[in-house]
Amino acid sequence: MKAITQYQNKTPEEIVQQYKKGLRAKQGLLILILLLYVIVSIKGIWWGDDGIADVLLKLVILFVITFPINIWISWDFMSLNLILSEACDPVLYVHVMRLLEKVHKRKRTAQAIRINKAYGLVWSGQFSDALALAESQRKYKVSINYQLSLLNIRFNCYKKLNDLERAMQVKREAEVLVSSFTKASTQKNGQELLSVMDAGLALWRGDYEPFRRIEEARSARYTAKLQKVVSAVSLADVDIACGELKNAKTHLEYALQEGGTLYVVEDARRMLREIAQKE
């Protein structure tokens, strides 16, 4: 993937410097366009015969010109998520997010960075730190998608910390939230989260066949490498429990090859050693 190659073999500082350079250039372009708009509008009003219709037309033109630039800025920010989702490098991702906190001061963007950082902490195995960060963000008003993200982070952290009672409490919170959705797109995202939670609880309880059915149905829709690696390790856990060591080995070798610095890679190594002892 072309977008991820721009981050390969670079330090966190180099990635953020490259991002900041592009951000400043786009922001400068927006300021220049806005100044030109103001100058042209004032000239048209004071020295011309522009009416309200002319001013509104210029405002529409301003929006049409600047909207793609704002989308470009948002895409650059979101593309940083590829460090986690495709490069499977949560350690680098967390470092980049920490540096970005010094770049973005807008409240909404700062909240997005903190939630992203919490995700990185989860996938690097720092569950207590991720949980503390996620819990601290609950007091802020965030978008529906970020509410779902915080629920997902909290649920996974409590589960990994073996606090099933609180994990179930988070699941109930998610069910209440999802039941309040009216838009089809948010309902779909909410149901997907509940499916993830059901699968996680099934695996935690040792209900392997229900987990396998849920996970195999969901894995067909996976596109990100992170999803595929985590799914492979989870399915390998089920394979080992069911005595299907060959399948487990295939899943675990894939995770070792593609898993980068994800914490599940250490789980994969441990499980491969257990398989070797049984063979």
Per DSSP, 160 falls in state H
What is the rounded CA–CA span in Å between residue 158 and residue 163?
5
Q: What is the mean pLDDT of residues 187-195?
A: 92
∠ at Cα 266 (209, 264), nearest 5°? Answer: 50
pLDDT tens readout for residues 1-37:
555 667 778 899 999 999 999 999 999 999 998 888 8
In this predicted structure, the answer to whether residue 179 has a pLDDT above a threshold of 60 is: yes
In this predicted structure, the answer to whether residue 120 has a pLDDT above a threshold of 90 is: yes
pLDDT tens readout for residues 124-139:
999 999 999 999 998 8
pLDDT tens readout for residues 61-111:
888 888 888 898 888 989 999 999 999 999 999 999 999 999 988 888 899
In this predicted structure, the answer to whether residue 278 has a pLDDT above a threshold of 90 is: no
Q: Which residues contact 119 (CB under 8 A, 6 or more apart)?
A: 84, 90, 93, 130, 149, 153
Which band of pLDDT confidence, cut at 50, 70 and 90, is reported for residue 49?
low
Identify the pLDDT of residue 4: 64
Q: What is the mean pLDDT of residues 225-243?
A: 93
Residue % of the chain over a pLDDT of 90: 59
Identify the pLDDT of residue 63: 83
C-beta neighbour count of 49 within 10 angstroms: 7
- Of 127, 129, 118, which is closest to residue 84 (Cα–Cα)? 118
Which band of pLDDT confidence, cut at 50, 70 and 90, is reported for residue 244?
very high
134 in Cβ contact with 149 (< 8 Å):
no
Identify the pLDDT of residue 202: 87
- DSSP calls for 27-84: HHHHHHHHHHHHHHHHHHHHTS---HHHHHHHHHHHHHHHHHHHHHHHHHHHHTTHHH
pLDDT tens readout for residues 150-163:
999 999 999 999 99
Which band of pLDDT confidence, cut at 50, 70 and 90, is reported for residue 249?
very high
Q: What is the mean pLDDT of residues 175-182?
A: 94
> CA torsion, points 103, 108, 113, 119, in degrees to nearest 10?
180
What is the pLDDT of the chain when averaged over all its residues? 89
Torsions phi, psi for 220 (to 5 deg): -65, -20
Residue with tokens 């900041």: 20
What is the rounded CA–CA span in Å between residue 120 and residue 83?
10
For helices 225-241 and 208-219, the axis angle rounded to 10 degrees is: 150
Write out the two tokens for 119: 């995700």
Per DSSP, 106 falls in state S
Q: What is the mean pLDDT of residues 248-277?
A: 95
In this predicted structure, the answer to whether residue 243 has a pLDDT above a threshold of 80 is: yes
Residue 261 is which amino acid?
T
Identify the pLDDT of residue 60: 83
> CA torsion, points 271, 85, 156, 160, in degrees to nearest 10?
30
